[in-house]
Each structure stands twice: as structure tokens, then as C-alpha cells.
Amino acid sequence: MGNMATKTLVVVGYGNIGATCSKAAKAAFGMRVIGVNKFPETVPAEDRKHCDELVGLDQYDRAMAQADFVLGALPKMVSTDNFFNYDNCFKKMKKEAVFMNIGRGTTVDEDDLAHALSQGTIAGAVLDVFKVEPLA
């Protein structure tokens, strides 16, 4: 991946957890961070300071195109089920990018993720959560 200080992390679901991850990415690696929040104006100033840019869903596509790493930190809601799918996420990322999910397993379409990985649409994935746990 090269020098991490030249990489961009996009945090989708930029709330308390996203801000904590952003703070760590900046402190440890010097990464540029773009936070994505459905309502960016509601993010507290304390959390805002940990990203270089905070955008709403209207800027989601632009942010995804810049990402070297995408971190999903979305909550479980009807509106976030399968949010990270081929059309809405993986095909918008760079081929060299890595998708990571620490939010809820229900937010990722795992079949679409497997397809994106097998086709080389994205370079890799790191998953902390799954739709069905524990794994078989």
C-alpha cells in the first residue's frame, strides 16, 4: 500500500466510533480522513476535528472515489441494510482500495462483497462483523 500518510480513509457512518477511528488513523499514520454522515451538521465539534473533511450523502460518490480505505461504521437500521453493496459501494471504489466493516454485519451485502473481491473490483476486505454470527 505504500506510505500511509499519502492515503485517504473514508469513514461511512461518522459518529463517535467513526471519529475515534479517524483520530487513530491520523495519529498513527497521518492519513487524510473524509467522514460521511447522513446529517453532518449534527456531528459535535469535538468529533469534527478528527477528520479533514465531513460530508453528507450528497458527496458520498466523490468521497468513495478518493478512498484508499473505506471504513463502514453504520448502525443497524432498515435504511442501512445492505448499504454496502456492489452498486452503492464497491464499484465506486478504486481497484486498489480496501473495504473494512466494524459497524453492523447487516450493512454489508456479503455476496456482493465476495463478487467484488473475486472480480478484482476492490483489492481487499477486513470484516469484524457478519450477518450471521458466530461464523460456521
Condensed to tens digits (0 to 9), the pLDDT of residues 29-69 reads 999 999 999 999 999 999 999 999 999 999 999 999 999 99
Q: What is the pLDDT of residue 68?
A: 98
3-state secondary structure 25-36: HHHHHCCEEEEE
User: Which residue in the block uniquely carries the three cell numbers 465531513?
Assistant: 54
- Give every CB contact of residue 56 below 8 A, 6+ residues apart in sequence: 36, 37, 38, 39, 40
- Tell me: pLDDT of 135 over 90: no
For the chain, domain boundaries:
4-104+121-127
- What CATH class has 4-104+121-127? alpha beta
Instruction: Please report which helix (H) or strand (E) contains residue 99, including its range.
Output: strand 98-101
